[in-house]
Amino acid sequence: MLSKRYRNLIADIAFLVALVVYLLINIVPMTFFKPYINSPLLGKLLNAAVLLLFLRAPLHRQTDDRVWLELVVTVFVGWLLWHAALPGFIPIVAFVYAGRNVEFRKVGWTVFWVCVATLVLTIGCAKAGLIYDHFGYVSGRMRHFLGFTYCLIPVNIFTNAVFLWVYLRKDKIRIWEWAVMLVADAWLYYETRSRLSFALVILAVLVSVLLKYVPDFFEKRRGLRLALTPAFVVACLLSLVGTLCFGSGNAFLLKLDAFLGGRLEIPYNNIQAFGFSLLGQEFSMFGAGIDYGGHAYSYVTSEYTYIDNMYMQIMQRGGIVMLITFVVLFTAVMIHLARKEPRGYGVCLFALLALQAIIQDTTWYPWYTGLLFLLGDCWADLPNTECPESSWLIDWEEKHLKFLKN
């Protein structure tokens, strides 16, 4: 019989392999590699990845009563997604649930390298002319799609990589690493004109600089650290009030909506047209993008009705219950991180995610938000998200990431 150590090691490897497959089958279809890949194959790979999650489960052999609470919460969220006709999100819940027994450091590095590898490969092939490279006007700005089907996809993946790098590296980060991130951020902004992602990366770097050189900034200000924990609640309430009051014709809201690119008007109009319910509903939203032939979708030239504000999108598509569940879960993570990490890296980055969710609906996709897997850490049977010093992952980093030293 295998020892517990080897059972856990096999279970971790199985999870990480399944995660790599899942990330790739979601990122690749958003690139112009997709026309060269058999679509049924992607569906089979997804089934195989989910099956691998179930096959690894017995290896942990948990008997803690906490497992039942985790399972009930997971099944409940999955049922909400199914009821709201969002079955595509159920695998995300399954992966977050399965990842609760895997140290976040392992999960975070896996997501980081998959995102960086696909980003560099896609942009490189697009620049080399191996796949289609599209230029087009979006929101009145000329934007470069960099081999993806929408201009914001590469910058969102890059932002995810930066957040993971800052969180995983923490105090070990070097000046040249900040420089690389800022130069890459500036280049991506020049290509895509994505203002939000550009600003988020700069803020993440500033957080990293502050916490590295003023290590006791939050340790001495526990109240400030805890004050950040309701960030998702505040952002959600601001979104609700701003959207529901938009019809009043308030001059400030009109100016704010213009600055946010219609992110108040569009959800307000959708609420007027479709309303919202406790358990969600199914309706069509039309956004911007191009097909694999490089042609804009027909609705791009008519009316843009896609709800970019994540809180409003969850409320209309998933329902009020799902919105409350989403906010409660992320707030629980922030409280957990505020208590567990006095340095404040996690709570600061999640506060930025709460801000990002007002403008983009990317927070619940692991290829855009790798920190999502910290949800499982709230109830994990691991003592913390850091690897023990004797961990194989620390040893691997010491051997293979020597370029990060001095």
Query: pLDDT tens-digit profile of 19-48?
Result: 998 899 889 989 988 888 777 777 777 777
Q: What span, in angstroms and rounded, lies between the C-alpha atoms of 52 and 14?
A: 7
In which band, very low, low, confident or very high, does the pLDDT at 293 lie, cut at 50, 70 and 90?
Answer: low
In the Cβ-directed half-sphere of 41, how many Cα atoms lie within 13 Å?
9
Mean residue pLDDT of the chain comes to 81
Q: How far is CA 376 from CA 1, 24, 231, in A?
A: 28, 22, 19
Mean of pLDDT values over 149-157: 91
User: Which pLDDT value is given to residue 381?
Assistant: 41
User: Which pLDDT value is given to residue 389?
Assistant: 38
Q: Is there a domain that residue 292 lies in?
A: no
Q: Is there a domain that residue 265 lies in?
A: no
Q: Is there a domain that residue 38 lies in?
A: yes
Model confidence at 305: pLDDT above 80: no
CB 311 within 8 A of CB 235: yes
Model confidence at 60: pLDDT above 80: no
% the chain with pLDDT above 70: 77
Q: Is 351 exposed, middle or buried (0-12, 13-18, 19+ CB in 10 A)?
A: buried
Least confident interval from 22-26, 236-240, 257-261, 401-405? 401-405
Q: What span, in angstroms and rounded, lies between the C-alpha atoms of 377 and 380?
A: 5
User: Which pLDDT value is given to residue 350?
Assistant: 95
Domain count, the chain: 1
In which band, very low, low, confident or very high, does the pLDDT at 299 lie, cut at 50, 70 and 90?
Answer: very low
User: Which pLDDT value is given to residue 182?
Assistant: 97
Q: Is there a domain that residue 269 lies in?
A: no
Q: Is there a domain that residue 36 lies in?
A: yes
Tokens of 18: 């399944």
| Domain extent for 118 | 4-234+312-404
Tokens of 101: 């027994």
CB 350 within 8 A of CB 371: yes
The more confidently predicted of residues 246 and 97 is 246
Model confidence at 385: pLDDT above 60: no
CB 215 within 8 A of CB 242: no
Q: Is there a domain that residue 277 lies in?
A: no
Q: Is there a domain that residue 248 lies in?
A: no
Least confident interval from 39-48, 120-129, 396-405? 396-405
- Number of CB atoms found within 10 A of residue 364's CB: 21
62 dihedral zone (left: phi>0; alpha: psi -120 to 50; beta):
beta
Tell me the Cα Rg of the chain.
21
Residues 6+ apart with CB under 8 A from 319: 80, 83, 84, 276, 277, 278, 279, 280, 281
The H or E element spanning position 14 is helix 4-27
Total residues found in the chain within this entry:
406
User: Which pLDDT value is given to residue 59?
Assistant: 56
Residue 34 backbone phi and psi in degrees, to 5: -55, -40
Q: Is there a domain that residue 241 lies in?
A: no
